[in-house]
């Protein structure tokens, strides 16, 4: 039981949160190293044709590694936000990874297919006209928010894959303020991580993204549940 006060308590809390974010992010980062190497190979590819070759392993690695590992990060963020007790960071993370693996993997196949279609279409149409380029960029941003919202819903609710994907779609398109916050916060974090503070990627970026995104979604879900309860009582 903690018995701290003043500056000591503040330092303890700060250290605890830094430990949470860094440990979970490092676990997530190491699980996704094959994906990071593949993406780097795409960007440094000598031709567009060679870049497409690297998409083949990504089609397997993204649903197999990225979706289950990221779903576990969001589940950890949910535990922190609702103040759920955890045995240990590492044990809790891999427990979430194991429990949600099948659903995350299968849902990841669907979302990976959606991203693949977007990448291929964007690559084909980006030079056709400025209008088409803008349209596909907007569609890509919507798909990004939809993917992030999927992780939040997956962490918070017990739904089958069909219900999960359907509700993810409705939450994304039906709540522009939530979607805008998630988009701006994640793009800002990505920009800062890649241009100014690269160390955030292996240490904090993933968990910060998950925490901010789930926190925004959680507050939204509480408002929806409160409104639904009020309508029911009325």
Q: Using CA atoms, how far apart are residues 134 and 89, in angstroms rounded to an integer?
A: 42
Q: Residues in the chain, how many?
A: 234
Spans in the chain with pLDDT lower than 70: 1-5, 45-51, 231-234
What proportions of the chain, in percent to the nearest 5, are helix, strand and coil?
85, 0, 15
φ/ψ bin of 175: left (φ > 0), alpha (ψ from -120 to 50), beta (otherwise):
beta
pLDDT of residue 126: 78
pLDDT of residue 233: 63
pLDDT of residue 229: 75
Residue closest to 104 by CA, chosen among 145, 165, 27, 182: 165
pLDDT of residue 47: 62
CA distances from 149 to 14, 79, 154, 182, 207 (A): 27, 17, 8, 9, 15
pLDDT of residue 54: 74
pTM here?
Answer: 0.91
Q: Using CA atoms, how far apart are residues 138 and 230, in angstroms rounded to an integer?
A: 36
């Amino acid at each position: 039981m903690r018995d701290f006060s003043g500056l000591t308590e503040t330092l303890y809390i700060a250290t605890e949160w830094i430990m949470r974010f860094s440990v979970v992010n490092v676990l997530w980062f190491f699980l996704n190293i094959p994906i990071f190497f593949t993406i780097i190979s795409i960007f440094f590819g000598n031709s567009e044709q060679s870049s497409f070759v690297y998409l083949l392993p990504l089609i397997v690695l993204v649903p197999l590694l990225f979706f289950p590992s990221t779903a576990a990060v969001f589940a950890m963020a949910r535990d922190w936000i609702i103040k759920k007790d955890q045995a240990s960071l590492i044990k809790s993370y891999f427990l979430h990874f194991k429990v949600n693996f099948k659903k995350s993997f299968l849902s990841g196949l669907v979302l990976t297919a959606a991203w693949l279609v977007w990448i291929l279409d964007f690559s084909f149409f980006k030079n056709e006209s400025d209008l088409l380029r803008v349209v596909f960029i907007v569609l890509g941003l919507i798909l990004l928010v939809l993917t992030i919202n999927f992780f939040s819903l997956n962490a918070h609710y017990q739904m089958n894959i069909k219900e999960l994907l359907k509700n993810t779609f409705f939450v994304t398109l039906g709540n522009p303020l939530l979607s805008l916050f998630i988009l701006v916060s994640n793009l800002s974090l990505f920009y800062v991580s890649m241009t100014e503070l690269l160390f955030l990627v292996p240490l904090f970026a993933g968990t910060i993204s998950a925490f901010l995104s789930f926190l925004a979604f959680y507050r939204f879900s509480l408002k929806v549940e409160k409104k639904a309860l009020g309508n029911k009582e009325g």
